[in-house]
Amino acid sequence: MANPLPDRHPARTAGVRTAFEAVYNWDYEPEIDELRTLYANALDRQWIALKQLDWEREIDRDAFSRTFSMGGIPIQETRFWQELPATTRWEVASRSAVFMLSNFLHGEQGALMVAAQLVNAVPHMDAKFYAATQTLDEARHVEVFAAYIQKLGQVQPIAPGLKALLDDVLATDDWMLKAVGMQVVTEGLALYSFRDMRNATEEPLLKELLTYVSRDEARHTGYGIKYLTAMAPTLSDAERTRIEDFAFEAARKLIDSRGGGSMRDSVMEIWREAGLDPAWAFGEIAKERATVAAALQRSGGRRGPIRGFVIPTLKAIGLFSDRIAGHFDEMFRASLGADFGSTREDPTAVPEDLEAWVEST
Ligand SMILES: [Fe+2]
Ligand SMILES: [Fe+2]
């Protein structure tokens, strides 16, 4: 028998207080053609998770636990990694995979709520239409990651860095800050990480699921690039500074280790639980810098989601001034404790066909 209604109310946790202006637009004509095209494309590419993926299939736990994903840093190619005991490698890889997947799921819930906010907050009708399709896409992503994690039987809480980023994006009352925080920083992180895991995993259902989800995320990133590129010439210097600062702060939540709440800190915690001392591991990996650099070169030389994708996107839109490059460089130096080169030298180009890029290896 079904539970009585009060028992079925979900447990409440603290939410995010938010207020922003819901903007009408009485002009229903297309205004930004590229966004109208993207909306039509999104309608055309809808898929139904329950029908398109084979949920009867059991998860290949062995293959899942070998899914090693470290934001594109190929440490598994180092001698250090290869010489670790097999049980340690197994523990680190499988725990990291559960951590990543859990954060994909929680991140998708945040994206679902922000996309719905954008329907209200963006001023252009084409942009409202598009955000409506993204809202549906993100609901489907929550659905598929939740279904996969249910099969896996393991879920971890959201990482503090990702939660802080989502809170900020949900809370801001400025649609352009929401757009840069969501469509550039969060979507760039998602697109890069999903592609990375899709290429790394040999677990068939996960590989298929991530391929479908990544195609949607490629459109979401495309929306941010097209919309903000269209808006960039209209911005005052003060507005540009505000947007750049917000993007920097959003990225900082994920990667600044000085406060101890970065994604890297969360991953280090997992390594520790798996019996691997992070400080020692990093010292050993640093000795094999040439191997890591060569492996990175083979994979296109991209260096994690922020430097490999988010910064090039900000540059392509025209939201990466010399001033903000200085902030990023200082943070990378302080957080990573080593000279990884200046973000001023990072690539400017983002792949023109994002959908083709996410499907490439
Ligand atoms: Fe998503
Ligand atoms: Fe998305």
pLDDT in tens, 163-179: 999 999 999 999 999 99
Residue among 338, 305, 254, 329 at smallest CA distance from 73: 305
**Integer Cα distance of 36 and 39 in angstroms:** 5
Look at residue 153 in the predicted model and tell me its pLDDT: 85
Q: How many whole angstroms from 284 Cα to the centroid of ligand 1? A: 35
Question: What global pTM score does this model have?
Answer: 0.92
**Quick check: 187 and 203 in contact, CB under 8 A?**
no
**Quick check: 312 and 343 in contact, CB under 8 A?**
no
Q: How many whole angstroms from 138 Cα to the centroid of ligand 2? A: 6
Q: How many whole angstroms from 168 Cα to the centroid of ligand 1? A: 18
Q: How many whole angstroms from 186 Cα to the centroid of ligand 2? A: 8
**Integer Cα distance of 325 and 303 in angstroms:** 16
Q: How many whole angstroms from 224 Cα to the centroid of ligand 2? A: 10
Q: How many whole angstroms from 108 Cα to the centroid of ligand 1? A: 5
**Integer Cα distance of 99 and 120 in angstroms:** 33
- What CA–CA distances, in Å, run from 283 to 214, 258, 337? 34, 19, 11
Please write the tens of the pLDDT for every residue from 210-255: 999 999 999 999 999 999 999 999 999 999 999 999 999 999 999 8
Q: How confident is the model at residue 136 (pLDDT cuts 50, 70, 90)?
A: very high
Residue among 217, 25, 264 at smallest CA distance from 126: 25
Q: How many whole angstroms from 273 Cα to the centroid of ligand 2? A: 31
Long-range contacts of 297-303 (CB under 8 A, 24+ apart): 299/72, 299/74, 302/72, 302/192, 303/72, 303/73, 303/340, 303/346
Q: How many whole angstroms from 106 Cα to the centroid of ligand 1? A: 10
**Integer Cα distance of 218 and 47 in angstroms:** 15
